[in-house]
Amino acid sequence: MTGFVSFVSSGPGDPELLTVKAADRLRRAEVVLYDDLSAGPILDMTPPGAELISVGKRAGRASPRQAHVSRLLVDHARTGARVVRLKSGDAGVFGRLEEEIATLRQADIPFEVIPGVPSPCAAAAAAGIPLTRRGVARRVQFVTGHDVTGALPEELNWSALADPGAVTAVFMARATFPELAQRLIAAGLPEDTPALMAEGVSTPRQSLHRDTVGGLAGRLAVAQREEAPTLILYGALAE
């Protein structure tokens, strides 16, 4: 008796930004394993009696191991349940999707992946700017701001990230951005390159702050830690 797993991308947090397919899977779910950033009003779409299991990972907090999360997917699917794995943003962008899919394939459990609105797209929309600009910003790149230890990754392509003609989105960026900015400037990125810090995009906690790479790095170096998810865009941003 084998169930089915739907990897549902919840987008940045606003239920109205869910796809029709994502909303359908949530309404029919029997078990939902959800990330911290997918909690809140989106979970209200699940039916009464659905089992809701928090498996979110947040920096600086005790979090379930990835192997445990993957095992839960298999165990619940083997009961014949309709399982939703609810992931923030788009499931395929820094969402540990590959590990969970590999486990399901090994267990011969069918699944689907439902895409969603990536947070850089939602942040740019909230700020009223495009991510690309004809003749100015022809490339968009996504990068994570920390590795599994919480530190700035060492294997980053600094020449690509310091390209002022690209728009770069840094996920999970708050803690390491001062160091990241220092490395970018050393690699040739102008200190006055435009930057946008977006917190809690599409939620009641949304906050947008426009600055420069150097200015934002200085601000974050002395700022208190915030709980809202933070994304930073920098590069050839429109005014």
Q: Which residues are catalytic?
A: 35, 57, 172
Q: What is the b/e burial string over 126-143, where b = at least 16 CB atoms within 10 angstroms of the residue's CB?
A: bbebebeeeeebeebeeb
Give the Cα separation of 6 and 113 in Å (integer).
Answer: 6
Mention every residue, 6+ apart, whose C-beta is less than 8 A from residue 92.
9, 113, 115
DSSP state of 104: H
Contact call for residues 54 and 112 (beta carbons, < 8 A): no
**In 3-state terms, what secondary structure has residue 6?**
strand
DSSP state of 238: -
Give the Cα separation of 230 and 219 in Å (integer).
Answer: 14
Half-sphere exposure of 166 (CA within 13 A, CB side): 15
Q: Going by DSSP bridges, is the β-strand pair 31-34/51-54 parallel, antiparallel, or unpaired?
A: parallel
C-alpha 67: how far from chain center: 20
Give the Cα separation of 133 and 33 in Å (integer).
Answer: 38
Residue 6 to residues 27, 82, 101: CA-CA distances in angstroms?
A: 12, 8, 11
